[in-house]
């Protein structure tokens, strides 16, 4: 895994669903084509990729103000109009999650 605390993808060229995979690959130090089953769960197991992409598609009204966050493959993923942020979840986050849910 990468030693960075956070990977951010914000070039706007890729839809959020693809940017998430690219950021996970960067954090894991693997090629983007390696982020697939069976080594990784499909993204659709935690979020609907098509709905996510549609939410952040720029329309005539401008960019979306939405922010979506979820956990995927041990990372906290935050998607917003400016891009995607991926950071490794700490053991404290996992402990809090299991206590709460």
Residue 44 lies inside a defined structural domain of this protein: yes
Look at the chain and report how many structural domains it folds into.
1
What CA–CA distance (Å, rounded) separates 24 from 29?
8
**pLDDT tens-digit map of 26-69:** 999 999 999 999 999 999 999 999 999 999 886 666 667 899 99
Sheet holding 75-80, edge to edge: 6-9, 83-88, 75-80, 67-72
Band of the pLDDT at 99, cuts 50, 70, 90?
A: very low
pLDDT at 91: 62
Residue 73 lies inside a defined structural domain of this protein: yes
What CA–CA distance (Å, rounded) separates 84 from 27?
13
Looking at every residue in the chain, the average pLDDT score rounds to: 83
Q: What is the pTM (predicted TM-score) of this model?
A: 0.77
**pLDDT tens-digit map of 13-26:** 799 999 999 999 99
Residue 1 lies inside a defined structural domain of this protein: no
Task: Find where tokens 């995979």 sit.
Answer: 21
What CA–CA distance (Å, rounded) separates 24 from 35?
8
DSSP 39: T
| Segments forming the whole domain that contains residue 81 | 6-100
């Amino acid at each position: 895994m990468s030693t960075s605390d956070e990977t951010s993808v914000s070039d706007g060229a890729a839809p959020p669903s693809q940017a998430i995979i690219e950021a996970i690959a960067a954090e894991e130090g693997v090629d983007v084509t390696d982020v697939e089953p069976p080594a990784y769960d499909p993204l659709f197991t935690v979020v609907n990729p098509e709905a996510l992409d549609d939410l952040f598609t720029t329309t005539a009204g401008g960019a979306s103000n939405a922010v979506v966050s979820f956990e995927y493959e041990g990372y906290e993923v935050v998607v917003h109009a400016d891009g995607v942020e991926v950071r490794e979840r700490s053991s404290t986050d996992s402990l809090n999650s299991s206590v709460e849910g």
